Each structure stands twice: as C-alpha cells, then as structure tokens.
Structure 1
Amino acid sequence: MANTAALIDQILADLPPEPEPTKTPEELAKAADAKLKAKAAPVPASLSAIPGGSTPAADDVTAQLATKSGPELTADFMRMNPQQIEAMLARL
C-alpha cells in the first residue's frame, strides 16, 4: 500500500500543471483597456499646462551679460572698440 501511494504521488508530481482557463475576447479587451488607461498620460487642458523645454546651455559671456544691469552693460560696451563689440555680439 505504501508503495502504491508513493507511486501515485510521484505520477501526480510528474504531471504538467493545469493550464490557466482561457479568457473570452471581451475579458481580454477589458484587460487591455485597463492597461492602456493606467499608462495614459493626462491630457493638458490648455497650452499653459504643457511643460516647457530645458534652458539652452550658456557660455561664460552669456552668463556674464545676463547677470549685469543696463548701466553695467553700457559701461562695458563704452570701454570696447567696435570690433570687440561685434565679436561679443557674434558670440551670443
């Protein structure tokens, strides 16, 4: 008897697992819709809700000019000759 029970247990252990029950097309469609809704990004209500791009990279000249006031920029340009002014403006 013990050998028979062990043999039956071994046979049952060697059997492949039962396959999952197949889903109907309606169930598959519902699951796909739920998955798409979970991944969908919210639609912005207006253009102001759309995030902007990153700021462009600035070199040293651009950063220096951005931090100076109007009178400081005027004083800097007054100390330059026309070629230096043209060269600085060309780098912007």
Structure 2
Amino acid sequence: RQDRPPKGGRHASHGAALRIERGEGGFAARWIGTAYFVCANGGLTIDDSEIEALTGAFRRGGIEFVKSVLWKTEPRTGRCWYIGDQWALCYDDV
C-alpha cells in the first residue's frame, strides 16, 4: 500500500523508468529499470483505485515486456500490462 506522509503527498512503492519514443505509428516503449517517485498532490493526483490497479500490475510483474504506450486510444483486451484512464502500457510493438 502507498505510504502517505502526514503533510500530504505519497511515495510510490513501485515504479519503472521507460524509454518512450514517438514514431509514425504511435509511441514505442522500452523498460530501462526500476525507479521510485514522490507523486503529485492536488489536481495532478490519481484516485486510489488507479493507484491500487497500478500497484497490482507491478506486483504481477512483466513490465520488462512492455513495448508500447497507448494515449487516448482504445487498448486491445489481453495485450496490455496496465490500462489506465486514457492510457495503457502494452505488449505489442507500435
């Protein structure tokens, strides 16, 4: 579960660095390694259900197989490591 400091904000319990490259067909993604973040407060925060879903994806593993980012595009069911609000990390090449 995400730790929430008493003065606001939270620290990511899981994270990844991805290299994103924009091409004609979309956004290619390659896993670089593990990363940890201090997340946003206020209007930039995501809701708890999305935090839990993303944490679950990290616990299941497999981010190293992500090959593309979908942005405001309908993802293919069963071909994504994680599906968020208007974005997804997917296993298919762009």
More helix by share: 1
Using the size of structure 2 for normalisation, the TM-score is 0.20
Using the size of structure 1 for normalisation, the TM-score is 0.20
Max radius of gyration: which structure? 1
More strand by share: 2
